[in-house]
Amino acid sequence: MTKREYFEGIKELVKDNETYVTFLDAEIERIDKRAAKGKETRAAKTAFAGDAIREAVLKALEDAGRPITLPELAAAVEIEGVTANKIVYHIRPCVERGEIIKEKAKVGDRKVMTYALGE
């Protein structure tokens, strides 16, 4: 259970006492405001980071001129702290739109995913 759910439950139990209900309503409102601000902040950070990562990936694919594997792509993206998982997460919309082509390829004895610029 969340803190908000606890407060809602307590509020139901003390619904006859106006002082407690007022206090609990204020606490619930404070929790909601903090949650909304946190979501807004995370969304802004993610959008900015996502745009920078997508641009770096598209540039890396353009420079490569051929399909490249995810480790090669991660090495080509020169943004500090960007992992292969973050790259895959942020380029998924590009793959869905066809800007980036993702396909399986055989490298040696194993199959790997390769990425290339779409049309």
Under a CB-based contact definition with an 8 Å cutoff, are residues 107 and 69 in contact? Answer: yes
What's residue 47's pLDDT? 60
Give the position of tokens 């792509």: 73
d(CA 112, CA 104) in angstroms, rounded, equals 6
- What is the mean pLDDT, run by run of 10 residues, along the chain of 119 residues? 92 92 94 90 68 85 87 85 85 87 86 85
pTM score of the predicted model? 0.56
What's residue 49's pLDDT? 63
What's residue 38's pLDDT? 87
In order of start, what are the domains of the chain with their CATH numbers?
3-117 (1.10.10.10)
